[in-house]
Amino acid sequence: MKEGREIFKVTGEPEDTSKIKEHDAWARFREGKKDSRLREFLDTIDFELLRSLFLEAARKSGVNPETLNFVSADGIFGKSGSLLEPLGAYSGSRNIVALSMRKMEDRFGVEGKDLDTVALSTLCHEEVHATAKTICIGLGSEAEQAGYQRTMESATGRLEKRFLLFNEGVTEKLCRQILEEYVERTHFADSQGMNRLRDLFREKHPYESLVEFVDLFIDRVSAETEVSRDLVWQAIIRGAYEGERFDDPELQQLFSELLTPDFIELLSQNKISDLRGKLTKSREKTPTNSFKTNGMNAPRRENEGRLRKWLKTLLPTSL
């Protein structure tokens, strides 16, 4: 059984479990105290329930829930030197989550209970990062793989974060699903509070357009394969938990033919706004390009099979 968070030595062998535990404990010790507002928020969270919702989402998408690396309250801190994400962050190398209540307050202009709801959402987002596939090469090194995102050296020696925006869109979409389930179970916020949160996010959330892109991608794959949107979404979740790399040349070719040329390459380069335009346009141009309604077109039927094959490798149930 492969753990969701894997740490390797630079020589390639898996790092000793005892060394990883020691390193993680030291990271927590160094982070020190939490500010009182964060502590107040964390005290209201039912971490056991939250964890069970993540396990359920993983199980539903065919991932072994025992591999999930969920971070409990003792691994969550306030400000943290090198964690620069504005609202929150997850460090794969140290296995800790940072949440900045002050930044959430400033960014969304909320306080009191509404600030708690925003913080719950940020917490869920960072827990998706924590539970998604994480691979670090060298103890203490930042993650080389985080969900779909991969940090790679370019030809010029610069570090590039490939699939960063797709990964953030998938992360935020799963975060919102878990958030809704958690609120339904606990009544953490009332319906007006949740409506205010949705309005706020539509207006101000930095990843709003990325979630819309993931929805558009799901719509297209679902339309091209005639596999339900829900199953396509389960396949995408499983890809994040298993670290799908999209590096199969046949798969790259297939997405190029079905969706838009160089789809995977553009996705890896985070050209989300370019792709959004292309995905919408190419679909409008060929509104009847569903394979079943296009029986004359043999190559299309063949492609449908290949795309369904990709989904099948990621789905728990056979199509």
Q: Which residues bind Zn ion (CB under 5 A)?
A: 168
Identity of the residue, 91 or 260, whose beta carbon is nearer to Zn ion in the bound complex: 91
User: What is the closest distance, in whole angstroms, from the C-beta atom of residue 14 to Zn ion in the complex?
Assistant: 26
User: What is the closest distance, in whole angstroms, from the C-beta atom of residue 281 to Zn ion in the complex?
Assistant: 29
Spatial separation of the C-alpha atoms in residues 207 and 204, rounded to whole Å: 9
- Positive or negative, the Cα torsion across 117, 121, 126, 128? positive
User: What is the closest distance, in whole angstroms, from the C-beta atom of residue 125 to Zn ion in the complex?
Assistant: 6
Identity of the residue, 168 or 244, whose beta carbon is nearer to Zn ion in the bound complex: 168
Q: Hey, which residues does 162 pair with through a beta bridge?
A: 150
User: What is the closest distance, in whole angstroms, from the C-beta atom of residue 171 to Zn ion in the complex?
Assistant: 5
Identity of the residue, 116 or 168, whose beta carbon is nearer to Zn ion in the bound complex: 168
Spatial separation of the C-alpha atoms in residues 231 and 172, rounded to whole Å: 18
Identity of the residue, 5 or 220, whose beta carbon is nearer to Zn ion in the bound complex: 5
Q: What's the Cα-to-Cα distance from 228 to each of 178, 219, 249, 300, rounded to whole Å?
A: 20, 9, 25, 19
Q: Hey, which residues does 99 pair with through a beta bridge?
A: 88
Identity of the residue, 28 or 161, whose beta carbon is nearer to Zn ion in the bound complex: 161
Spatial separation of the C-alpha atoms in residues 301 and 239, rounded to whole Å: 24
What token pair was written down for 208? 């709003």
Spatial separation of the C-alpha atoms in residues 83 and 155, rounded to whole Å: 27
Q: What's the Cα-to-Cα distance from 268 to each of 160, 213, 254, rounded to whole Å?
A: 10, 14, 16
Identity of the residue, 174 or 307, whose beta carbon is nearer to Zn ion in the bound complex: 174
Nearest 5°: phi and psi at 89? -160, 155
Percent helix, strand and coil across the chain, each to the nearest 5: 60, 10, 30
User: What is the closest distance, in whole angstroms, from the C-beta atom of residue 1 to Zn ion in the complex?
Assistant: 26
Give the DSSP H or E segment for 162: strand 159-162
Instruction: Name the residue type at position 227.
Output: V
The answer to whether the CB of 96 falls within 8 A of the CB of 28 is yes
Identity of the residue, 136 or 254, whose beta carbon is nearer to Zn ion in the bound complex: 136
User: What is the closest distance, in whole angstroms, from the C-beta atom of residue 168 to Zn ion in the complex?
Assistant: 5
User: What is the closest distance, in whole angstroms, from the C-beta atom of residue 175 to Zn ion in the complex?
Assistant: 9
Identity of the residue, 173 or 238, whose beta carbon is nearer to Zn ion in the bound complex: 173
User: What is the closest distance, in whole angstroms, from the C-beta atom of residue 136 to Zn ion in the complex?
Assistant: 17
